[in-house]
Amino acid sequence: MKKIAAIIVCGIIIFAWGITSWMALPWHQMAVNKFTNESEVTETIKANAPKAGIYYLPFAHEDHKAGETAAFVNALPKGYSPGMTRQFVTQLIGDIIGVSIIVYLLSQTSGLDYWGRVRFVTLTGVVIGFASHFAYWNWFGFPAPYIALIIVDSLIACFLAGLAMAKLVAVNTEKATTT
């Protein structure tokens, strides 16, 4: 029961960091660009992306010519609903599931003191950020500053959760005392 409570607490910590990072800090907006004519782009997407989903431009790699415009777009022709309650709840559940996996990984370690556990969880955040976004930089040309921001964001989230997780979970990973 203690481990479940700790997972929920750490999930809430990651969730709270995400809200702070995406809604209160300006750094995500600083890593992206604004279209010069949003209404024109909106009409173009509505006319050419009839259903929600990922679109590539050009669609086939063999159709791409050097110097030609390319795009990787997640189109939502009908937009978002005005409220964000569903997204908040879904994100919190996802964060709790993610923390559960990290707790499991941490429980497979041994001989780590408090700061060793914090480092382990923090490094897990780096791996999550890197592994989940490196391919976008490599294959789709996402800007390096955007990828670096995502990695740092994940690192901070896991560091903050790791501070609590190292205290509340995996006490069996403390260094064994010799008798």
Sign (positive or negative) of CA dihedral 33, 37, 42, 43: negative
pLDDT tens series, the chain, 179 aa: 788 988 999 999 999 999 999 999 999 999 889 999 999 999 999 999 989 999 988 888 788 888 888 888 999 988 887 788 999 999 999 999 999 999 999 989 989 999 999 999 999 999 999 999 999 999 888 999 999 999 999 999 999 999 999 998 755 544 444 44
For residue 86, count CB atoms less than 10 angstroms from its CB and return exposed for 0-12, middle for 13-18, buried for 19 or more. Answer: exposed
Q: Are 10 and 164 in contact (CB under 8 A)?
A: yes
pTM: 0.84
Q: Which two tokens stand for residue 123?
A: 């490094």
* Alpha helix segments (H runs only) across 20-140: 27-30, 38-48, 85-107, 114-140
* Alpha helix segments (H runs only) across 20-73: 27-30, 38-48
